[in-house]
Structure 1
Amino acid sequence: MSPFSVGIMLRSQVVAKTMSRGMAAQVKAPIKLYSTEGRYATALYTVAAGQQQLPEADKDMQAIKKLLDTNKDFKNFVNSPLVNRIEKRKIMEEILKKVNVGPLTMNLFDALAENNRLSMTDNVVKSFQELMTAHKGEIVGKVTTAAAMDAATAQEVKKVLESFLKKGQTVQIETVVDPSIGGGMIVQVGDKYIDMSVATKKRKLDELLEMPV
């Protein structure tokens, strides 16, 4: 199944629980997120924006993030493979009712539970926050390097990332240190992905050398 088909399916799951398909305005997400958790977050974003309930959905997701950050039992629960899907779905519904989230957010997490993907909760929340950041004209630029960048390098990278932006947008730099890339860097700005890591260059060279002459 293509990413597009998966995205349509997820939006349909969220929409079908609250409204007929014809009632939703067609809303395009500010950036494309290609991961599975990104498509769940996009489903919530597009449905909430179409119903003019984006602030409410944002507030709900912030409340869930707070739970993840402050309640170890909740985080262990959503990540646990030991609780069966049906029971997990019921418990999650009870928790979200206590947090007083709206119906759209409730239905998103019901879809996650139904598909046995509550372990993605943390990343779904992060993906939704990324969409909201882009919605406000702020783009997250994720830069992965083998070692921490010094201030001068970080400033230079920021200038390069700003060249990708549209008028009125600003960029927030998120840095990740991953020694396994060997050197160079991997840059992701919105739906643009640039891999300049030594590890990838080496892999491509190895693949080239292994090709028959």
Structure 2
Amino acid sequence: MAMAARLRSSITGFTNSLISDSLSSHRSTVTISQQLRNFASGSAPKDVKIKVPVAMFGGSGNYASALYIAAAKANALEKVESELADFVSATTKATTFSQFMKDLAVPADIRVKAINEISAQAKFSDITKNFLVVLADNGRLRHVDTISKRFSDLTMAHRGEVKAIVTTVIPLPPAEEKELKETLQEILGKGKKVHLEQKIDPSILGGLVVEFGQKVFDMSIKTRARQMERFLRDPVNFDA
């Protein structure tokens, strides 16, 4: 059975039993930061030194960094990335479970039990399972989508990939997408690889917006119209 099918089956089975589950909750006295340090250092030999390729900040950044260190030490970055993405995709489609993850009133023990059952049926690696358990125990499952995206940013940086987000009104035709990707690749030069992600936003009216590294190239009709409007409103100095 495919990973996605196993996930859907296990999530459905668990959500059907949520109402009847009455486990009591108890919280660990270990702080979240200490849990993350323990998680990152406890999955591989201690003599392996790993540094994140990109500095991450904030709560989701801390979790993503801890997961990256643990997965890198175990040489399982791609596997963990795939499993986490599958989990996010499956839970997004399961409305009841998605609400369950966001409900802080649900006891921690029930959240942990859910993750253990789902991970076992989906046959997740220990790193992915243990990480999701940390999220469940700390009431952070509701942030798993954001954490997964930031983790992917780290794995992309590890592979030498640079994300470029292109926003258009309609999807770019394959030929134009290929041309844009080649242009961005030329800007990057050798040693880096462009990972192009398309977003659709009718509000830009036309043209495109490219977010590339720390740069934004705004060639949208909406922005051009605003620039023209400001130009027309400026007073005209005929003496000049």
TM-score with structure 1 setting the length: 0.63
1:192 aligns with 2:235: no
1:91 aligns with 2:114: yes
- Please point out which of 145, 154, 166 is paired with 1:143: 166
In 2, Cα distance between the equivalents of 1:51 and 1:65? 22
In structure 2, the residue matched to 1:178 is: 201
What's the CA shift string for 1:134-156, capped at 9, x where partnerless? Answer: 43344432211244434554344
**Alignment partner of 2:209: what SS?**
strand
- Please point out which of 174, 185, 189 is paired with 1:162: 185
**Contact 1:141–1:173 (CA<8 Å) still a contact in 2?**
yes
CA 1:114–1:29: 2 relative to 1, 3 Å: same
**Contact 1:10–1:39 (CA<8 Å) still a contact in 2?**
no
CA 1:162–1:62: 2 relative to 1, 3 Å: same
Matched pairs, number: 196
CA 1:23–1:69: 2 relative to 1, 3 Å: same
In 2, Cα distance between the equivalents of 1:200 and 1:26? 49
- Please point out which of 11, 14, 19 is paired with 2:36: 14
Consecutive unaligned residues of structure 1, counting only runs of 5 or more, are 1-8
1:59-138 equivalences under 5 Å are 60-61=83-84, 63-65=86-88, 67-68=90-91, 74-75=97-98, 77-78=100-101, 80-81=102-103, 84-86=106-108, 87-138=110-161
**Contact 2:181–2:196 (CA<8 Å) still a contact in 1?**
yes
In structure 2, the residue matched to 1:5 is: none
**Contact 1:182–1:199 (CA<8 Å) still a contact in 2?**
no
**Alignment partner of 1:163: what SS?**
helix
CA 1:103–1:160: 2 relative to 1, 3 Å: same
Q: Which of 1 and 2 has greater Rg?
A: 2
Shift of 1:24: 6.2
Tell me which stretches of 4 or more aligned residues in structure 1 moved more than 6 Å. Answer: none
What's the CA shift string for 1:3-57, capped at 9, x where partnerless? Answer: xxxxxx9775333146469926442334556675455333211232134443553
